[in-house]
Structure 1
Amino acid sequence: MKIPAGYLFAATAASFKKPGKLDLGAIVSDVPAVAAGVFTTNKFKAAPVLQCKEMLADGRKMSGFLVNSGQANACTGDQGRANCRETLNLAASHLGVPADELLPASTGVIGAQFDMAKWEAAMPALAGTLGHAGPEDTARAIMTTDTVHKLAEASFALKNGEVRLLGMCKGAGMISPNMATMLSFIVCDADISAEAWQVMLTDCVNLTINRVTVDGDMSTNDCVMALANGMSGVAIESEEDYILLRKHLLSVLEELAYKIVMDAEGGTKVAFIEVSGAKSDEDAEKVARAVGNSPLVKTALFGSDPNWGRIICAAGYSGADFKPEDLVLKIGGVLVFRNGTPEPGDMDGLLKPIMKERDIVIHIDVGDGPGSTMLLASDLTRDYISINADYRS
């Protein structure tokens, strides 16, 4: 794995989850880095989300991330905010970076206050792993119900050298983002302005991680944050440079978005829901999310059942403005429905092998308008219910 220049990783077990499980991690830059962030629009924002938004508001450079799993520090009031700030003070004294240059993030059960004694006890061990742990360790430390850690990388060359990007995320449930996903972190060694980095991140998140759904629930802790420390010595100056960096940031986020849906709690399928011909992008998204969040569509995907009527039904109640006779449905490239009626032939026979695939493309055209979108959605399985029913037990 090509790690961007100037970043160190740390991870330890603080017993926030099960004893011995990695659940506390950090990423530290050798020099303060340009920082950008995109956060949940849930009204109940977790303490670390509020802290990060406050820290990033003035455009200051940042030196790293401090991340824990097992405790969300959400819906914890003033005490939660105070605890969040104290974790930064503790980490700063051991990691050797200013507390006001560490961006916090948390994931886990909502409503529980941090056990500050555990935080204090874990700090020496966390610091001891800095520079010895790898990205895989930090990625494992942020997992909750994830079955695998999630990493993606990219690199490209400009005339002054190579630029590298590395991304990690966690997410398997409580996912229907309206900005980002559970927790995602990007590090890059390019030299870029803060304004350009923020615009680029927001743009790429909207095209990738904002276009996934597992269960229709948006977390209180959702965040995507990115650092660019300039340690490669390669400056992003021209429009061509910007376009190339954006292309590779987009590819990293696309890979992470797919891995989130692929690892959906109990998930076995990834549906690529493409909508075109809508009167607006907003209408296209209404159709895509109605289909992607429909329990009936999702259970049909799990059962490999070509019950296309459920897709038509969801599109019909989506609230999008289109004429029923204009809708055209294709599944895996097979024309299923148009002109208000199903296509003739043995549709179940044609669709049966397609529905058994891991990745299934569902294309819905609703007219001749300019609006379009694409959404990644998981299926809904028996395991999803078991995992979430037993989450705290």
Structure 2
Amino acid sequence: MSIAPQGFRFAVAAAGFRKENRPDLALLVSDVPAVAAGTFTQNRFPAAPVVVAKAMLAERPEARAVVINSGQANACTGDEGMRNCRLTLELVGRAAGLDPSAVLPASTGVIGAQLKMDLWEKAAPVLAANLGQSTPEDFASAIMTTDAFPKLSHREVALPGGVVRLVGMAKGAGMICPNMATMLSVVLCDAEVEASLWQKLLREAVDQTFNRVTVDGDTSTNDTLYGLTNGASGVAVADGESVAALSAALVSVLGDLAYMLVQDGEGASKVARIHVTGARSDADAERVARTVGHSQLVKTALYGRDANWGRIVAAVGRSGAEFEPEDVRVSLCGVELFRNGQPTDLDFDALLEEPLKRRDLPIDIILGAGPGSYTLLASDLGHEYVNVNADYRS
């Protein structure tokens, strides 16, 4: 049985944008106009497809399709890049029988290179011919760059009016520190949802999921998340119970994808769940979580399976949050390492030898200053991250 929501079809093609001979161009089409929403990077150098898509959605929160290419970011490419982005929509729209204004673009790859328009012209008819022959899994694979695996999550939700489906697809492994977006992601649904409600649910879900992960502290020029819901199930989401259930499912799907981004961090072997409580405010808790999660010293210690509590405490101390040092408590994998301004009287190297071999490593930080809390997922940092990024263009 297909995991796709009703009324969506998928296509992929090997356009030759990348060195590898594999699909690198992906298209999804809704059989009927879908309510569309998006969140995008806040990098001050937004890629051409980000600029184009934001203008399209501001004019009309509706779409029929999304087209994504890997291999070329089309970022920092000036007026030519903007023209090329719009031309890709014309090429794909003409080949697939769609109005170009109903096709949303996204791109990923090396910054600064112009799109290879000769390859787009050849690939568009091939892509259109494949429509309906591919799956969400194929779509997720085609948009990968340095990803080790395709990222996919789906849910069925029983609402008072019937069952609706959601499926989410994402790519991303490096340059991950989203700001109201992710690397590239699309979430599809077949419920009937009013446009402003759909945008609200999407933004809230993104803020709880994709905006709470970091691999390397870098926010891409191309970060884009699209949400399309086409009503093909005939199930309306309007009452409080239905809204709450759809919201929970959306958070669950995007939460799965956000975890996979960190799990697949370039060269990563660990996912640290940094949970900060007892802060004066949620904002202070976030400062602490992000300072710890971005610390290269903490990341390398986790990679080395080293219970180096001093690196965590030092990061907490420089976060800018307000607290009394003697009130801070730090635990790693359930073992309390630090309390009352000093290490605990435990043989934590022995206690943590086995837990630190696991992929998921909980770090709990209690500040003792108030009710604020925040949770962030962060990867470790290993040798392979340098290898991948040193060779990215070569």
TM category, shorter: over 0.9
Please provide the CA RMSD for this pair. 0.9
1:58 and 1:94 map into 2 onto residues whose CA distance is 24
Unaligned stretches of 5+ residues in structure 1:
none
Q: Is the 8 A contact 1:278 1:284 kept in 2?
A: yes
SS of the aligned residue for 1:175 comes to coil
SS of the aligned residue for 1:146 comes to coil
Q: Is the 8 A contact 1:59 1:194 kept in 2?
A: no
With the length of structure 2 as denominator, give the TM-score of the two structures: 0.98
- 1:149-205 Cα offsets, whole Å, 9 max, x none, are 010000111233210000000000000111121101000000000000000000000
Q: Is the 8 A contact 2:10 2:29 kept in 1?
A: yes
Give 1:368 deviation, angstroms: 3.8
My pick for the range that moved more, 337-346 or 373-382, is 337-346
Match of 1:70 in 2: 71
Matches within 5 A, 1:185-204: 185-204=186-205
1:137 and 1:283 map into 2 onto residues whose CA distance is 41
Matches within 5 A, 1:248-287: 248-287=249-288
SS of the aligned residue for 1:352 comes to coil
With the length of structure 1 as denominator, give the TM-score of the two structures: 0.99
- 1:76-97 Cα offsets, whole Å, 9 max, x none, are 1111111000000000001111
SS of the aligned residue for 2:119 comes to helix
My pick for the range that moved more, 18-27 or 119-128, is 18-27
1:223 and 1:201 map into 2 onto residues whose CA distance is 12
Match of 2:96 in 1: 95
- 1:99-150 Cα offsets, whole Å, 9 max, x none, are 0011100000000001110100101110111000111111111000001001
Answering whether residue 326 of structure 2 is matched by residue 336 of structure 1, we say no
Match of 1:84 in 2: 85
Give 1:352 deviation, angstroms: 1.7
1:59 and 1:206 map into 2 onto residues whose CA distance is 23
Q: Is the 8 A contact 2:35 2:61 kept in 1?
A: yes
1:123 and 1:63 map into 2 onto residues whose CA distance is 16
1:152 and 1:222 map into 2 onto residues whose CA distance is 19
SS of the aligned residue for 1:3 comes to coil
Match of 2:130 in 1: 129
Match of 1:161 in 2: 162
Answering whether residue 372 of structure 2 is matched by residue 371 of structure 1, we say yes
My pick for the range that moved more, 331-340 or 75-84, is 331-340
1:297 and 1:223 map into 2 onto residues whose CA distance is 29
2:103 and 2:69 map into 1 onto residues whose CA distance is 13
Give the letter aligned to residue 302 of structure 1.
Answer: Y
Answering whether residue 351 of structure 2 is matched by residue 356 of structure 1, we say no
SS of the aligned residue for 2:352 comes to helix
2:276 and 2:228 map into 1 onto residues whose CA distance is 33
Give the letter aligned to residue 294 of structure 1.
Answer: S
2:204 and 2:346 map into 1 onto residues whose CA distance is 43
2:124 and 2:57 map into 1 onto residues whose CA distance is 24
Q: Is the 8 A contact 1:13 1:19 kept in 2?
A: no
1:390 and 1:2 map into 2 onto residues whose CA distance is 36
Matches within 5 A, 1:224-303: 224-303=225-304
Give 1:19 deviation, angstroms: 4.8
2:144 and 2:370 map into 1 onto residues whose CA distance is 41
SS of the aligned residue for 1:187 comes to strand
Give the letter aligned to residue 353 of structure 1.
Answer: E
2:61 and 2:297 map into 1 onto residues whose CA distance is 47
2:159 and 2:115 map into 1 onto residues whose CA distance is 45
Answering whether residue 220 of structure 2 is matched by residue 219 of structure 1, we say yes
2:224 and 2:112 map into 1 onto residues whose CA distance is 18
Instruction: State, as a whole percentage, how many aligned pairs show the same letter.
Output: 56
Give the letter aligned to residue 173 of structure 1.
Answer: G
SS of the aligned residue for 1:164 comes to strand
Q: Is the 8 A contact 2:37 2:202 kept in 1?
A: yes
Give 1:348 deviation, angstroms: 1.1
2:64 and 2:179 map into 1 onto residues whose CA distance is 27
Give 1:345 deviation, angstroms: 2.0
Give 1:341 deviation, angstroms: 1.1
1:370 and 1:77 map into 2 onto residues whose CA distance is 47
2:159 and 2:361 map into 1 onto residues whose CA distance is 37
Unaligned stretches of 5+ residues in structure 2:
none
